[in-house]
Every structure is written in structure tokens, then in C-alpha cells.
Amino acid sequence: MIKEGNKAPDFSEKNQAGETVRLRSFRDKKNVVLYFYPKDMTPGCTTEACDFRDQHKKLKHTVVLGVSVDSEERHRRFIDKYNLPFDLIADENQKVANKYGVWQKKKLYGKEFMGIVRSTFIIDKKGVIRKIFPKVKVKGHVEEVLATLREL
């Protein structure tokens, strides 16, 4: 189980452009907001992505990375449609979601299925998880992230 104060699990996965993104490449350079969300183009996920987009200028010295199990192509369409200024990681095999413990059993309308539980991890420049937001509620979340980053 991942806890605040732990080293963030490293990963190496493709973004929307097919480029490999390695978490460790930001170490000693930038803080990272790693946010996991269920699916591109859905209402809550679109609101969350657009909130990060709208506050992007306030996220100085910080890299925002969104992660879902959607494909690179679907991520490209999502970024293009909403003019998102950050990378989306195509975690089609749930490797990153499993490392962070956010690939879980979910229930919707009485049905159980596996999926990403909306969660955010703030990782400092040393690669340490400074804050975990489990089971994120979209409304007001970006403001919580900004407040936490101001403390780093």
C-alpha cells in the first residue's frame, strides 16, 4: 500500500504522442501532479482535466500527468478537443494504476467491475509522495492540489 512519505513508484509508459514518459525523468527538476481518472470524454473526467487546464499557469515548477486506461489515440482526441496543455498517459494494461493501487473493484448501478478510482498523488522533486487524494471529488479538487503545492 502506498503512503505519503513513500518513494513514488517509477513508471515508463507512452503518452498521447506515443512518446515514453518516465516519472524519474522529473526528479530533481519538478514536482509532479499524477492524477488518475476513469475515462476520456466523460463528464467528470472532462471537468477535472479542464480544471487542471484552466489553472495550469498557477502550477509553476510542476508537471501534470493524467493517467487512464484509454489509448494514445483517444488521449490525442481528448487533448485536441479540450486544448489540454499536459500529457495523458495511456495505461492500457493498468500497470501504472496497479503500482499506485488505484485499479480497484467498483460498483455502479448494482454491477461490479474493475476500474480506476479517481485519485491524485503529489510527488515532490525528490520523488517522494507528499500528498494522496483518494476517491477524489472533482468539484474543488484543483484548488486542493494548488494549496498543497504552495506548501512544498
Band the pLDDT of 1: cuts 50, 70, 90.
confident
The residue type at 38: P
Digit-coded pLDDT (tens) for 79-123: 999 999 999 999 999 999 999 999 999 988 889 999 999 999 999
Helix 72-82 × helix 43-54 angle, to 10°: 60
Which of 117, 59, 48, 126 has the alpha carbon at shortest distance from 88?
Answer: 48
Tell me, what's the pLDDT at 136? 96
- Tell whether pTM > 0.85: yes
**Does the active-site annotation cover 45?**
yes
Q: How far apart are CA 97 and CA 93, in angstroms?
A: 9
Choosing from 45, 116, 117, 122, which is the catalytic residue? 45
Q: How confident is the model at residue 129 (pLDDT cuts 50, 70, 90)?
A: very high
Q: Hey, where are the domains in the chain? A: 12-17+26-150
- For the domain spanning 12-17+26-150, the CATH number is 3.40.30.10
